[in-house]
Chain A
Amino acid sequence: MTRQPDLLYSDTEDDLRAAVRSLLADRADPQAVLGRIEEPSPYLPGLWEALAGGIGAAGLLVPEKLGGQGASHREAAVVLEELGRAVTPAPYLTSSVVATETLLALAADSGPAADLLAALASGERVAVLALPFSTAPRKPGDPERRVPAVADAVAADVLLVPRPDGLYAVDAADAAVTRQSSLDLTRPLAVVDTRDATGVRLAGTEAGRAAVRRGLLAGAGLLASEQLGLAEWCLEETVRHTKERYQFNRPVGSFQALKHRMAHLWLDVVGARAAARAAADALAAGAIDAELTVSVAQAYCSGVAVRAAEECVQLHGGIGMTWEHPAHLALKRAKADQLALGSTGHHQDTIATLTDLPSPS
């Protein structure tokens, strides 16, 4: 019998959403985000402290005894929906989900991993996993000492570095972090070189690899919620715009050709919500089919977010092509997210394996 996931939102989750949305409306509206994207750092001053420490969002996955909120992936998913809606530049997915979950997998009650978890949970420090952002949970690959396309590395205090002999925590100041020019302006990438840094060994080879896989799996599963939030914003803005924009003496949203496109997008968003909630719930419950549910969510929600952002640009007409309108922020984020934590193809391959639907021999 298939497990029945809880696909609704609890009252606590609704309250958390309201708090995050209100903070972002205050501190990270589209104009504020647009104003920072060409600065050396796109992160908004004070926002991380308010989100991570003030609201306590950074510690949702961390048990209370380790300094966190003792909540679950379901709550973290709600935060990501809101960060996705606002295309917020914040190292939440990378630090509070992927790095945090990697450390949690080590099951340390004390010592450097536990200390670092507490620092991440309070938002005092930021850690990122030193792997390319495109790394799929199933195939992390062989770690290199010089890693390109590490997301949010420029914001990190600590780098989690998988090495052949185990998983290491390396102080970012000891590593060479070189910012790259990235497609998604709100989630900067960098080349991370830890060849000259020693760091602290947190786990041995096997335990380290398993922890990294779990961190990536949680990241992939909750990325679906970021994609859902982004898609929802794109649809809402497009509906709003086409209701107000007049051409041919009618609001353009009254033309059937446009209405059907937006209705199709709504259908996609409805599906994405069910898929993303299922993934968050499966991760929270440690469900036996969590890996399958995550890959289904990724295989589905990536495409929905890209489609929503592309439709948003197109149906805004010329306005959608301008730097001043935030549609391009969403498009760039959506396209980068499609590749993040495993492409659609990677996740479909996982599904084929897990469901016994093998490719032709």
Chain B
Amino acid sequence: MTDAAELQARTRALLAAHPPATTDRTEFLRARFDAGLAWVHYPAGLGGLDAPRALQAVVDAELAAAGAQDNDPRRIGIGLGMAAPTLLAYGSDEVKSRFLKPLWTGEEVWCQLFSEPGAGSDLAALGTRAVRDEATGDWIVDGQKVWTSSAHTARWAILIARTDPEQPKHRGITYFVCDMTDPGVEVRPLRQITGEAEFNEVFLTGVRIPDAHRLGEVGDGWRVAQTTLMNERVSIGGARIPREGGMIGKAAGVWRDRPDLRTHALHRRLLDLWVDAEVARLTGERLRQQLVAGQPGPEGSAMKLGFARLNQAISGLEVELLADEGLLYGDWTMVRPDLVDFTGRDAGYRYLRSKGNSIEGGTTEVLLNIVAERVLGLPPEPRNDKDVPWKDLAR
């Protein structure tokens, strides 16, 4: 069993062999992966040491103190948070050793080809087809995906596609790893409400995927996708933020700096939201403590729902608070950013971008149903799509 002292010693050995100040970032990250200090709870040989997940903090603290560069987790969040746990759970040995290292070092960026124009909240209704080429065993994929962040920088994608339209919608899906450099893959920027194109549309035309890049059994893709989606929720709440660390800090800063803009009505709303933001911070801290103590609770869903509402309310207040300045907007130029930067932009951007927080990663309405049914145990909605073949569903 690997303990904290041993991890500390291993980390120090890594730092001694590869001093961060004089070592190339990628080279350092590769060495860290090989030392099993990338994600300590992963298996040995795959970036980890089979150690308790909580002990990652020991490694991270040592590395931060030594000024070592990280793998920029925000930029490769889909790979780290969603692709990696799924590859680990369902990939063959070859697949795991081929993909996990460059994924973790950030040398290969991943994206997620799940949502479609007709399958957002109802993800299992997806219509992208994967048909087996009986001669080679490869799969031929045709269809369209949407809301794909990082598609324009990604080397690989996790993909779900329909392999049996005769089955009810949850049963005819299969899960693949898709090569984004394949000639059949076309990525088009999707310009959004903010003016920029943070997401993409992805068109798949005759894309050939070898059967070795299938994760899980044929027709079992929905279950595999649950691993991906569950890990998406678990990854929330990991980071500690200080008081006023989120958007509320921006609004509070404007209030302090600009006494001329203060009104009583805005004051009341600001204090309401300050309290809500502080409670959300404490809720996140409690969730983090539960995870560390090995008692994960369902509070992750609360975090996602709460942050969406808060971000929208606070950024709306900030635009109003700014009065004449709130009438302005920084820049409408169409750009394709690598990541969402909420606090580095102006209030108008925050207001518009935060509208997506209650839609992306599961709409608030769908997540409320999930909370009601899975957390509170309330009876399910009556459904008329469960036992009907996908091809017979209304679309």
Interface residues of A (CB under 8 A from B): 1-2, 4-8, 235, 239, 242-243, 250-251, 253-254, 256, 258-260, 262-264, 266-267, 270-275, 277-278, 296, 299-300, 348, 351-352, 355-361
Q: In whole angstroms, what is the CA distance A251 to B380 when docked?
A: 10
Contact flag A263-B376 (CB < 8 Å), given A4-B240, A6-B289:
yes
CB pair A243–B377 under 8 Å, yes or no, is: yes
The one of B263, B275, B365, B369 in contact with A348, judged by C-beta atoms closer than 8 angstroms, is: B275
In chain B, what residue has the closest Cβ to A351?
Answer: B271
The one of B252, B270, B272, B372 in contact with A260, judged by C-beta atoms closer than 8 angstroms, is: B372
Contact flag A266-B293 (CB < 8 Å), given A274-B283, A357-B271:
no
In chain B, residues 269-291, which have Cβ atoms closer than 8 Å to a Cβ of chain A? 270-272, 274-276, 278-280, 282-283, 285-286, 289-290
CB pair A8–B275 under 8 Å, yes or no, is: no
CB pair A263–B368 under 8 Å, yes or no, is: yes
Contact flag A359-B377 (CB < 8 Å), given A7-B285, A270-B302:
no
By size class, the interface of chain B is 35 or more
1/0 contact trace for B356-383 toward A, CB 8 Å? 0000000001001101110111111110
Q: In whole angstroms, what is the CA distance A158 to B283 when docked?
A: 40
B246 neighbours in A (Cβ, 8 Å): none
Q: Does B243 contact A (CB under 8 A)?
A: yes
B286 neighbours in A (Cβ, 8 Å): 7-8, 273-274, 277
The one of B255, B278, B302, B378 in contact with A259, judged by C-beta atoms closer than 8 angstroms, is: B378
Q: Does B242 contact A (CB under 8 A)?
A: yes
CB pair B242–A275 under 8 Å, yes or no, is: no
CB pair B302–A266 under 8 Å, yes or no, is: yes
Q: In whole angstroms, what is the CA distance A355 to B372 when docked?
A: 36
Q: How far is the CB of B300 from chain A (nearest CB, A)?
A: 10
Contact flag A267-B378 (CB < 8 Å), given A7-B285, A296-B278, A360-B262:
no
Contact flag A2-B243 (CB < 8 Å), given A271-B279, A361-B259:
yes
Q: Does B68 contact A (CB under 8 A)?
A: no
Q: How far is the CB of A185 from chain B (nearest CB, A)?
A: 29
In the assembled complex, 16 residue pairs joining A and B whose CB atoms fall closer than 8 Å, in A order, are A5-B282, A239-B377, A242-B378, A243-B377, A254-B378, A256-B381, A259-B368, A263-B369, A266-B375, A271-B282, A272-B279, A348-B275, A357-B256, A357-B274, A359-B262, A360-B264
CB pair B274–A355 under 8 Å, yes or no, is: yes
